[in-house]
Amino acid sequence: MADGKDLYAALGVDKSTTDDAIRKAYRKLARKWHPDVNPGNKEAEDKFKEISAAYDVLSDPAKRKLYDEFGHEGIREGFDPEAARSYRRWSEGRRTTGAASEDIPYEINLEDILGGFGGMGGGFGRRATRPAAGEDLRAVVELDFMDALRGTEIEVGLPVAKACPTCNGSGDQPGTKPETCPECGGTGKKQAVRGPMKIMTTCPRCGGAGVVRTPCTTCDGEGTITTEQSVKIRIPPGADDGSELRVRGKGRPGRDGGPTGDLVLGIRVRPHPILRRDGLDLSLPLPVTLDEAYNGSSIEVPTPDGPVKMKVPPRSQSGTRLRLRGKGVVRGDHRGDLFVQLEVRLPDREDAQLADALRAANQLYGKPVREGLTL
């Protein structure tokens, strides 16, 4: 997402919105803008990426806290919130006390003030060597309706970093070795501003390492190459269309000892030909005969847990809804209900005796069936 774009505005919510409301807003927008729903629509694809990036931050309590406090700077890779708070306290203290220039140390490191703030270029050695969390990986999986209801196991191909076979993980081109950086003489630092006070910054040539290297052409100096590994992921029962599943530790590896990122799976659920879902509740249209509807009966109803018996009250009309408690969607400790809607079906074969009996049955209605019907 471009810098400056308000993440709350991207989801159509404000800063005081609850986590649950943010989740609902994202799901609604994800259904509208998902590329599968808008094939070939670049605007929809960009919009989906935008709301996904916003949700990735606002759904994570730690990231949301940093964003609320520091804005986009707070969610940059390598950002150091403690350094930022220290600089803010130092700056506010100087404004409050009116500190003179002689109170400033003769030599200071620019990174100690601005370290992790982003926007200062990629040459800072401290940014290059500070542990950083690995990036999250995102993928979209499509599930059968019943698999989403009951839970299932899927296989996902994930990138895995392995030691580069050319340089054996060193990152250096074979036949070369690190040399003292000619820019800083091996100190890793360089004076940023000439004057009575030395303001030092990390050497842009060596990134603070004090040496320069010839990067391996196979791995571009990373020391690792990425291959794909198939990983089995368990989808818990009750997964809903437009929801997300975060699998901890299955993202890209961290840098310099930082934690591994997560795998974020966007769930798409194919519609069922008969069943309809509303939250944890399910709806099922169920055909019944004239006899079963008029005289009442005990019939078998298919449910996600298998067939169960249900009583149809005598004189049930077509469209009558009956509830089977606890036979809907199961998610953790919560269970929804299955609502069965009766559809009275007439025989599809002609029979004179039945036709006469039905004509005679017209006398049994207490009043005309369309009495009072107006538009």
pLDDT tens for residues 22-31?
988 998 898 8
Of all residues in the chain, the percent with pLDDT exceeding 90 is: 35
**pLDDT confidence of residue 159:** 75
The alpha carbon of residue 355 and the mean position of all alpha carbons in its chain are separated, in whole angstroms, by 59
Distance CA 37, CA 49 (A): 14
Lowest mean pLDDT among 15-19, 111-115, 261-265, 369-373: 111-115
Specify whether the CB–CB gap between 252 and 135 falls below 8 A: yes
In which element (H, E) is residue 46 found? helix 42-58
**pLDDT confidence of residue 71:** 86
How many angstroms separate the first and last alpha carbons of the chain? 51
The alpha carbon of residue 281 and the mean position of all alpha carbons in its chain are separated, in whole angstroms, by 24
pLDDT tens for residues 50-97?
898 899 899 988 899 888 888 888 887 767 777 677 666 766 665 555
Average pLDDT across the chain, whole number: 82
pLDDT band at 2; cut points 50, 70, 90: very low
Structural domains of the chain ordered from first start: 1-75 (1.10.287.110), 276-364 (2.60.260.20)
- Tell whether the torsion through CA atoms of 248, 253, 255 and 261 is positive or negative: negative
What residues are paired with 182 via a beta bridge?
none
Distance CA 265, CA 247 (A): 8
Residue 352 has pLDDT above 50, yes or no: yes
Distance CA 147, CA 235 (A): 9
What residues are paired with 230 via a beta bridge?
157
Residue 101 has pLDDT above 60, yes or no: no
Distance CA 240, CA 232 (A): 20
Confidence (pTM): 0.53
Kindly state the tokens that stand for 72.
């986009």
pLDDT tens for residues 289-347?
999 999 999 999 999 989 999 999 999 999 999 999 999 999 988 999 999 999 999 99
Cβ-proximal residues to 185 (8 Å cutoff; 6+ apart), any chain: none
Specify whether the CB–CB gap between 218 and 170 falls below 8 A: no
**pLDDT confidence of residue 97:** 54
Question: What mean pLDDT do residues 231-236 have?
Answer: 92
Half-sphere exposure of 215 (CA within 13 A, CB side): 9
Distance CA 54, CA 26 (A): 9
Distance CA 331, CA 151 (A): 10
**pLDDT confidence of residue 148:** 94
Q: Is 276 helix (H, G, I), strand (E, B) or coil?
A: strand
**pLDDT confidence of residue 194:** 52
Specify whether the CB–CB gap between 320 and 266 falls below 8 A: no
Distance CA 150, CA 328 (A): 11
Q: Is 82 helix (H, G, I), strand (E, B) or coil?
A: helix
